[in-house]
Amino acid sequence: MEDRMINAFLIKYAEIALKGKNRHLFEDALIRQMRLALEKIEGEFQVTKEQGRVYVHCHSAYDFEEAVETLQKVFGIVGICPVAIYEEKGFEQLSQDVLTYMKEHHPGYCGTFKVHTRRAKKSFPMESMEVNAELGGCILDAFPGASVDVHEPQLNLSVEIRERIYVYSQTIPGPGGMPVGTNGKGMLLLSGGIDSPVAGYMIAKRGVQIDAVYFHAPPYTSERAKQKVVDLARLVARYSGPINLHVVNFTDIQLYIYDQCPHEELTIIMRRYMMRIAEHFARERKCMGLITGESIGQVASQTMQSLMATNEVCTLPVYRPVIGFDKQEIVEIAHKIDTFETSIQPFEDCCTIFVAKHPVTKPNLKIIHRSETKLEEKIDSLMEEAIRTTEVITVE
Ligand code: ATP
Ligand code: MG
């Protein structure tokens, strides 16, 4: 579609599910997230709410594709309708403008169509049914191959008569979901893998604002590995809005566990300490839950028994949105949200560096507890140190 005629977008959202006060919260959050997203691209955009509808008005030159792609990442949007706006100067001018619109956007149109007029400006001298009929006639005259079908038209031409005239005929699908900020905040455990960025995206889609924590183990894990996680956070932030990424230096804790505990229990014990530290930052940031990319049975640390052992140390709820997904299903979402290529960059991960040849797949909680008592002497101070030296990187 040509962009020079399009000077606004009508934003459709799932208002049916919204009642009373929730509706305002939903709309306000939607508008806030749209503004945040549009601020990042070239052009002057104004997001407004008029008579219960949300519009983006474009006040300068802009890139149509870029604007649409940006709006397609704002959760809560169900449809994006590119709108051409004309001055309201009576029916004669309206019919000419509608023909101009048709010629620009559907040149030589020869399918079926229907005109749907809404008259919000009651002082306009014709009723909407009359406008439908008259405009339909004009279009039939100008496009001899076209015909009217009011039940299942191939082209639905919407005309809204307000202070100005709004014309649109296309609805581009939005991402659905709920606007970020309508459902509190969660702390994502973000690794450099495929699963956790997808998990973050999925929870953000339910309206949850996200912060993140990444455990690295320099010098065993490199600066590049850390940069990859920062890059992933930035990719997720295109959907979720700004993320405060907590980069925790986990090396001393890992080495201490490695020294003190049976190696086949390393992964589980390490993951329990990750959860404890993540929970600390979750509380500090007023998050109401932790989020991980775990999926039942994917690896040894994700059997039901292992998940139970990891979960045991958490008092906040742990959300695992990909828990029932096969790898392939997670990969498909990773492609859709464009994190896959970054996730597969081959940098070492702190979990794989100290991993045992034969990790326990059915950890026994009593045994894990006993092993953890061997850490009593130093673990509290090591955790305090890790928390104290954590670097926070805000990505947007
Ligand atoms: P992913 O693809 O997300 O890395 P994975 O399949 O590699 O997951 P694990 O390594 O067992 O699985 O990690 C399970 C989950 O634990 C991850 O999805 C992530 O939420 C969290 N996690 C693992 N390693 C780290 C890390 N270094 N920093 C932060 N979170 C991590
Ligand atoms: Mg991983």
Question: What digits encode the pLDDT tens for the residues 351-395?
Answer: 666 777 778 888 999 999 999 999 999 999 999 999 999 999 999
Kindly report the pTM of this predicted structure. 0.91
Distance between Cα 348 and ligand 2 center (Å): 9
Ligand that comes closest to the CA of residue 197: 1
190: in domain? yes
Distance between Cα 191 and ligand 2 center (Å): 6
200: in domain? yes
Same domain membership, residue 149 and residue 190 = no
Same domain membership, residue 134 and residue 243 = no
Q: Are 125 and 91 in contact (CB under 8 A)?
A: yes
Among the three residues 143, 173, 203, which one is the final residue of a domain in this structure? 173
Q: Are 187 and 211 in contact (CB under 8 A)?
A: yes
Res 233: pLDDT? 98
CA distances from 367 to 151, 304, 306, 371, 374 (A): 69, 17, 13, 6, 11
CATH code of 124's domain = 3.30.2130.30
22: in domain? yes
- Would you call the peptide bond into 219 cis, given omega within 30 degrees of 0 as the criterion? yes
Tell me the CB-side half-sphere exposure of residue 191, using CA atoms within 13 A: 21
Question: How many residues comprise the chain?
Answer: 396
Structure tokens at 247: 């980069």
Tens of pLDDT, residues 10-29: 999 976 566 677 788 889 99
Distance between Cα 299 and ligand 2 center (Å): 10
190 belongs to an annotated ligand binding site: yes
Helix and strand tally (H, E) in the chain? 14, 15
Instruction: State which residues of the chain have pLDDT below 50.
Output: 1-4
CA distances from 224 to 191, 195, 197 (A): 13, 19, 17
Find out whether the beta carbon of 214 lies less than 6 Å from any atom of ligand 1: yes
Res 334: pLDDT? 98
Find out whether the beta carbon of 193 lies less than 6 Å from any atom of ligand 1: yes
Among the three residues 173, 200, 223, which one is the final residue of a domain in this structure? 173
Distance between Cα 206 and ligand 2 center (Å): 24
Same domain membership, residue 387 and residue 333 = yes
Res 348: pLDDT? 76
Q: Are 277 and 386 in contact (CB under 8 A)?
A: yes
- For the four alpha carbons of 147, 148, 152 and 154, in that order, the dihedral sign comes to positive
State the residue for tokens 């300490």.
Answer: 273
Same domain membership, residue 201 and residue 160 = no
Structural domain tally of the chain?
A: 2
State the residue for tokens 């509380």.
Answer: 283
Q: Within 10 A of 259 (CB to CB), how many other CB atoms are there?
A: 10
Find out whether the beta carbon of 76 lies less than 6 Å from any atom of ligand 1: no
Same domain membership, residue 76 and residue 189 = no
1: in domain? no
Among the three residues 173, 196, 214, which one is the final residue of a domain in this structure? 173
* Cα distance between residue 253 and residue 388, in whole Å: 14
State the residue for tokens 């979901």.
Answer: 177
Res 315: pLDDT? 96
Ligand that comes closest to the CA of residue 229: 1
Same domain membership, residue 306 and residue 270 = yes
232 belongs to an annotated ligand binding site: no
Res 215: pLDDT? 97
2: in domain? no
179: in domain? no
Buried b / exposed e over 374-385, threshold 16 CB at 10 Å, is: ebeeebeebbee
* Cα distance between residue 246 and residue 290, in whole Å: 14
Ligand that comes closest to the CA of residue 195: 1
Tens of pLDDT, residues 304-337: 999 999 999 999 999 999 999 999 999 999 999 9
Q: Which residues pair with 247 in a beta bridge?
A: 214, 391
* Cα distance between residue 134 and residue 129, in whole Å: 9
Residues of the domain holding 387: 185-395
Same domain membership, residue 164 and residue 102 = yes
Same domain membership, residue 152 and residue 50 = yes
- For the four alpha carbons of 186, 177, 230 and 199, in that order, the dihedral sign comes to positive
Collapsed DSSP state (helix, strand, coil) of residue 64: helix
List residues, by chain if needed, whose CB lies under 5 Å from ion ligand 2.
Answer: 191, 193
CATH code of 272's domain = 3.40.50.620
